[in-house]
Amino acid sequence: MRRAALLLLACCAQRSLLNDVKAVLAERERALSAYSFKAQTNGAAYAVAFRGPRSTLLELPQGAFSFDGARFYERDDAARTMTTYEPEGLNAEKLALAWNQSFGAKIPEGFRAPLLPPRGVEARLAGDTVELTLRTRDEDNDVTVTSVLRWPSGDFLERRTDYGGARGLVRVDDEHCEARLCVPTRLTKWAGDAKLEETALTDVQLRAEVPRDAFALVAPQGFAVTRSTLVPTR
């Protein structure tokens, strides 16, 4: 009976902590309602501008990709084409998935909240950090993903993965901080002891005044213009 009561208390405490984490991340997302930065990943340069709730502009050496809150745009300077993608029939969840597939790889965690499924996440305090752990199974492999956040600010510090014994790590090595809010300016990605990539951010602006019309790309003169329907890959 006593053991059952202790388990119930532990479960309630963990649920309370997880609710606190979600509230902190929601507040952090509101604080990061506008930002911009330049970046290089292993020498490949790009730039990002963001305006909440989801308008995003990704500028690349040979073009740009953007979302203006209603539709996606792709400008290919080499091919001299401009494509507008209409997300027809996508609910809010699938639209969020399409946004993540389009921009997630270029926007480091710390600028965006970690994706937390509605169930299966465990929260644990560890010193001045909180660890969010998800355990699942993919075909024949056990999968564990742990996001480590500074507590109580919710600043992203690292993400550890274990996929069938293969260990990976994304780690923040340098930060830019203002108004009790820190975002990464240098991150490294590891597979075991091998460093796979390094991303360095410069010109970080956490209150960038990006006009709304900047996210609706306009085709330069002479570009072929097409329209398509957006379908997420999964």
Mean pLDDT by 10 residues, the chain (234 residues): 43 79 92 94 95 94 94 96 89 85 91 79 94 89 94 96 94 93 96 96 91 93 93 62
Q: What is the CA radius of gyration of the chain?
A: 20
Angle at 37 between CA 67 and CA 196, to 5 degrees: 95
Strands 224-229 and 55-60: unpaired
Per the rule left: phi > 0, alpha: psi between -120 and 50, beta: everything else, 173 is alpha
Determine the Cα–Cα distance for residues 100 and 105; give it in Å rounded to an integer: 8
Cβ–Cβ < 8 Å for 107, 115: no
Q: 234 by DSSP, 3-state: which?
A: coil
Determine the Cα–Cα distance for residues 128 and 97; give it in Å rounded to an integer: 32
In this prediction, residue 6 carries a pLDDT of 35
In this prediction, residue 206 carries a pLDDT of 92
Please give the torsion angle defined by the CA atoms of residues 204, 44, 99 and 28, in that order, rounded to the nearest 10 degrees: -30
DSSP summary character for residue 119: S
Domains of the chain listed by start with CATH number:
2-229 (2.50.20)
Cβ–Cβ < 8 Å for 66, 209: no
In this prediction, residue 8 carries a pLDDT of 41
DSSP E strand boundaries for 81-217: 81-86, 121-126, 129-138, 141-150, 156-163, 166-178, 181-191, 194-205
- Count Cβ atoms within 10 A of the Cβ of residue 14 and give its class: 0-12 exposed, 13-18 middle, 19 or more buried: middle
Beta carbons within 8 Å of 49's beta carbon, 6+ residues apart: 35, 36, 56, 57, 59, 208, 210, 214, 215
Question: Among positive and negative, which fits the CA dihedral 38, 173, 175, 169?
Answer: positive
Determine the Cα–Cα distance for residues 188 and 170; give it in Å rounded to an integer: 6
